[in-house]
Amino acid sequence: PTLRIDVVSIFPEYLTPLRAALLGRAIDRGIISVDVHDLRDWTHDVHRGVDDSPYGGGPGMVMKPEVWGPCLDDVCPDDALLVVPTPAGVPFTQSMAEDLSRERHLVFACGRYEGIDQRVVDDAATRTRVLEVSIGDFVLIGGEVATIAMVEATVRLIDGVLGNAASHQQDSFSDGLLEGPSYTRPEVWRGLAVPAVLRSGDHAKIEKWRHEESLQRTRSRRPDLLPADEPGQPD
């Protein structure tokens, strides 16, 4: 495959969407491979425990290094990129998805509870590249949904995965702005008409209109994305 993906989780069944729809088709066509591993396979006690109480006190549990360490030794070779989802990570962006889509082998380590003992990441970083990444300023229950989001964003950029390669070149963020509204038939629906310019057949005019809509939407929803010389940029 062009890209090999391994995911470690204590809820492997949470990751079944990775085999559905376009991702499933990319697997069937040999463009990507996806292997999901159950972290508990690396436990040695009868209870198959993966967590313990935190040093320093406080609520919640922390995932144990003696389980994660040997698991990553087996699943994450030195030339893979280890991605660790965490709300305390650097923000995941479209440009990071583009970087990930050029890798050969990604390993995702899904935390639960209060996360993974930091030494697991520090130890892995002595032999392989590690990215601690957040998918947004909110807290999920586990890393599985964050992993699915990052895998989707990454895999759709690989050649041959989308039916139409041009479609991702026009998406939001690809030119730094949000994409404007889209319309399909019928021309009038519940009394709402499709903007006349889109039915004009004048491609230059349509392009200009789309760019203006894109700017206006970005200005009102995400002024932080506007280039520095654009009006509406926050101070």
Query: Residue 48 and residue 30: Cα distance in Å, rounded?
Result: 34
Using the rule CB under 6 A, is 57 a contact of ligand SAM? Answer: no
Contacts of 56-60 with CB under 8 Å at 24 or more apart are 58/114, 59/114, 60/113, 60/114
What residues does 84 pair with on adjacent strands? 132
Residue 87 is a catalytic residue: yes
Catalytic entry in 114, 123, 152, 213:
114
Residue 81 backbone dihedrals phi, psi, to 5 degrees: -105, 120
Query: Residue 216 and residue 222: Cα distance in Å, rounded?
Result: 10
Q: Which of 2, 33, 134, 216 binds ligand SAM (CB under 6 A)?
A: 134
Residue 210 is a catalytic residue: no
The annotation status of 229 as a binding-site residue, yes or no, is no
The annotation status of 36 as a binding-site residue, yes or no, is no
Residue 187 is a catalytic residue: no
- Mask: binding to ligand SAM, 62-101, rule CB under 6 A, as x and -? -----------------------xxxx-------------
Catalytic entry in 65, 66, 87, 219:
87
* Cβ-contact 143, 111 below 8 angstroms: yes
Give the Cβ contact number of residue 189 at 10 Å: 11
Residue 171 is a catalytic residue: yes
The annotation status of 11 as a binding-site residue, yes or no, is no
Using the rule CB under 6 A, is 12 a contact of ligand SAM? Answer: no
Element (H, E) at 51: strand 51-52
- For the annotated binding site for S-adenosyl-L-methionine, the residues are 111, 135-140
Task: Enumerate the active-site residues.
Answer: 87, 114, 156, 171
Binding site for ligand SAM (CB under 6 A): 85-88, 110-112, 114-115, 134-136, 138-143, 146
